[in-house]
Amino acid sequence: MRLHTLQNRPGARTRSKRLGHGESSGLGKTSGRGGKGQTARAGGTLRVGFEGGQMPLIRRVPKRGFNNARHRISYLGINVGSLESFAAGSVVDIKGLWDSGVARGPRQLVKILGTGDLTHALTVHAHAFSATAKAKIEAAGGQCQVIQRGAPSVKA
């Protein structure tokens, strides 16, 4: 294989829409913009939720009462079985979980959950442990150490 023989996969490059090329082209006349008005003009876009000057739904709906989403503590769950990939006797901390690829997703608090089995002893540092996870880690001869959420971080 040489550089001059490389080709795109079929369907990878599609022709761009040629707007305004006659009515039979399917994109003539209004060129896919509908009728007249603000959205038919160049640069004429409306923000999400705009209702033409009418009071928008988000402002019409009352916002009262308690909403738990503001106060919820969300954890990234990691199963005990996923910790099996770490070497026996090692210390598993939050940084190690992300570096090894066991923890994936947004960087947030980590909770160890009880699905799976652990065959060797590990010292696990996490923000929370389920009762089953704690029992399985300690049954394998390991330790569970809870990281305090509100602890100030050391800045270098």
pLDDT digits (tens, 9 = 90+) for 21-61: 999 988 999 999 998 998 899 998 899 999 989 999 999 99
Q: Which residues pair with 121 in a beta bridge?
A: none
Please return the burial class of 142, using the count of CB atoms within 10 Å of its CB with bins 0-12, 13-18 and 19+. buried
In the predicted model, what is the mean pLDDT of residues 8-28?
92
Dihedral of the CA atoms 127, 100, 90, 139 (nearest 10)?
A: 60
What percent of the chain lies above the pLDDT cut of 90?
A: 71
On whether the CB atoms of residues 7 and 13 are closer than 8 A, the answer is no
Structure tokens at 68: 């738990």
Q: What is the DSSP string of 14-57?
A: -PPP-TTS-GGGSS-TTTTS-SSSGGGSTT----TT--TTSPPH
pTM over 0.75: no
Residue ranges of domains in the chain, CATH in brackets? 73-146 (3.100.10.10)
